[in-house]
Structure 1
Amino acid sequence: MWIDTHCHLDASEFDPDRADVADAAAAAGVTGIVVPAVAVWNFDAVRTLARQDSRCVYALGIHPLCSAAAAQADVDALRREVTASIGDPRFVGIGEIGLDFFVSGLDAEHQTWLYIEQLKIAREFDLPVLLHVRKSQDQVCAQLRKLGVRQGIAHAFNGSHEQARRLIDQGLRLGFGGNVTFSRARQIRRLATELPLEALVLETDAPDIAPAWLSDDQFGEQHKARNTPAEVAGVASVLGELRQLEPLALAQAMWRNSVAALPRLAAFADAMAPAGANPADNKS
């Protein structure tokens, strides 16, 4: 019924119980999990995970937090891996890529170079992108426009209404996860309520950004708790309350939006889509 459009299920935090975590997600009604890579060294891990677990699909890319160690050889390796994976139905896009101007010590110029090179690969293969956008909304969107990339997800979106509209106008969907469950997150909750429904998708970013019920809502210490893909069902419940939507109607809309953002998901409609969802009908 629910699809988690951003979950690092390959992360070491899940090494002791990964299969149990995936089963718990299925028991919570999570029928699909998108697992993005973060660097060349985990391309094989996300691909193998997706091939071993029918609930998972994967993306390949180099995360901005891994940009310091990335050079032209890594970009070349990404292009080779994309070429090798393009015939794999479980390969759905380029990600996680983007810009992070929040974390200190990262070279903004090098990050931008790496981001642009990966956008070029997305454009070359006509693939959507899974974007990391942290204190960088305007710069991320500017490069999308410049290079003509018009499909994908800005994950864990936390910008202004105007920045959201620019990304939406560029063809992107915006990912909402654990942050929207905090009562103090007024701006994020306002965006989740006021933006067009067709612009939203659900995610967890597990093991990070745990929801309020796993955290301290007063102080927002969500990073002290391990998040899991099962929690996307709770995120959906909060979003449904904010938008006054019944679960099935919300699930159908989130599936349609996810397919619009990541078209290769359509191949898994029989296994992942909620009853009555039609990916071609993306109405709010």
Structure 2
Amino acid sequence: MTNTAKPRLFDTHCHLDFEPFQPDVRWHWQQACDASVSRLLIPSVGISNWGAVQELTTIAPQQLYYALGFHPYFLNTDCPEMSCSERMAFLEERLAISDENCVAIGECGLDAIVDVSPALQEAILIAQLSIAQHAGLPIILHSRKTQSRLLQLIKRHKFTRGGVLHAFSGSEQQAQAFIQLGFKIGIGGVITYPRAAKTRRTVARLPLESLVLETDAPDMPLCGLQGQANHPKYLPLVLQTLAQLKTCDVTDIAAHLWLNSHQVFGIDAD
């Protein structure tokens, strides 16, 4: 008998608190559920939205999860008067009162494009690596043209909790280096673009057990959907493209990705 059940999908990176999903987040979440997205993780960007991402998970406590951290892009605008140590004290205090739906630190990392001091970015990242290590939490990494430096810092500071390298678009060698450090590789809409030939070839060669799906919605629109806000309901299109690149059955690959996503965040996959 053929299994006709729709695969369960986990969007491991979706900014459900951002403006395009307001004011009716419940309606957007239902759209995602109707598209087989059964679980979703909402990363934060800084102190300014920690409360919002936690509050959103109360909509569906066993389906929606969140992460707390400092995104490099927002360091000049999110409590800029605070020192690195003050920010980290706030993060530790928030973690101490967080609930079980907080499953990671992030989104954090390095960005060579944004106009934020590299020294500040690195100090904030290193401090978050330390907090995640002691809290026993994985970390969600943002990287733009900084993957080599990220690898250096993770190794130097002996971070061993793993996590997800978000929005992957690097080389196979770089991906394998993160995988060896316990990271999953976040695969999103970039693979739906035929012009992203290098990334598509790399993803096709990476081990399936090291991949997770993400949308980064409302950002990173898929091919053919440019000019409109991205949405977690489009995650099946990423899955379909990944299955094509890896010449795998969609249902089979979805089952692996479901388990991978739960493993990296320490969540029961049911």
TM-score under structure 1 normalisation? Answer: 0.87
Deviation at 1:129, TM superposition (A): 0.3
Aligned to 1:235: 238
| C-alpha contact 1:204 1:232 (8 A) present in aligned 2 | yes
1:62 is aligned to 70
**Residue 37 of structure 1 contacts residue 95 of structure 1 at CA under 8 Å; is this kept in 2?**
yes
Residue 75 (structure 1) aligned with residue 85 (structure 2): no
String of CA shifts for 1:95-146, please: whole Å, max 9, x gaps. 101000122x210001000000111100111110011011110111111112
Q: Residues 224-260 of structure 1: CA distance to partner in whole angstroms, max 9, x if unpaired?
A: 3200111111100110111122122111110121122
In the alignment, the residues of structure 2 paired with residue 253 and residue 102 of structure 1 have an alpha-carbon distance, to the nearest angstrom, of 34
- Asked if the contact 2:14–2:40 (Cα under 8 Å) also holds between the matched residues in 1, the reply is yes
- 1:125-169 CA-to-partner distances (Å, cap 9, x unmatched) read 111001101111011111111222231000001111211111111
The corresponding residue for 2:4 is none
Unaligned residue ranges in structure 2 (runs of 5+) = 1-7
1:94 corresponds to which of 82, 99, 105: 105
Looking at structure 1, the residues matched to 50 and 119 of structure 2 have their Cα atoms a distance apart, in angstroms, of 25
Distance 1:8 1:193 in 2: 27
Which residue of structure 2 aligns with residue 277 of structure 1?
none
Distance of 1:233 and 1:149 partners within structure 2:
32
What TM-score does the superposition give when structure 2 sets the normalisation length? 0.92
Contact 1:123 1:147 in 2 (8 A): no
SS of residue in 2 equivalent to 1:44: helix
Check if 1:15 corresponds to 2:18.
Answer: no
Does residue 138 in structure 1 map to residue 148 in structure 2? yes
Say whether the 8 Å CA contact 1:51–1:90 is kept in structure 2.
Answer: no
Aligned identity (percent) is 36
- Distance in 1, matches of 2:156 and 2:258, equals 29
Q: CA deviation at 1:11?
A: 0.7
| Alpha-carbon distance in structure 1 between the residues aligned to 2:224 and 2:57 | 28
Alpha-carbon distance in structure 1 between the residues aligned to 2:18 and 2:151: 28
- CA distance in 2 between partners of 1:58 and 1:167 (Å): 22
* 2:121 equivalent in structure 1: 111
Partner of 1:214, secondary structure, is coil
Looking at structure 2, the residues matched to 91 and 5 of structure 1 have their Cα atoms a distance apart, in angstroms, of 13
Deviation at 1:261, TM superposition (A): 1.6
Q: 1:274: which partner in 2?
A: none
Distance 1:10 1:160 in 2: 31
Given residue 97 of structure 2, which amino acid in structure 1 is its aligned partner? A
Q: How many residues were matched structurally? A: 256
**Unaligned ranges ≥5, structure 1:** 216-223, 271-284
Match of 1:244 in 2: 247
Cα shift at 1:39: 0.4
**Which residue of structure 1 aligns with residue 258 of structure 2?**
255
Q: Deviations over 1:36-70 (max 9, x none)?
A: 11001111100010122232100000100112225
Question: In the TM superposition, what whole-angstrom CA distance separates every residue of 1:58-102 from its partner, at most 9, and x where no partner exists?
Answer: 0000100112225332211011111212xx221101010100012
CA contact (8 A) 2:57 2:101 kept: yes
Contact 2:26 2:59 in 1 (8 A): no
| Alignment RMSD | 1.2
Instruction: Name the amino acid aligned to 1:182.
Output: Y
Find 1:128's aligned residue among 118, 134, 138: 138
Amino acid of the structure 2 residue aligned with 1:4 = D
Q: Which one has the bigger helix percentage?
A: 1
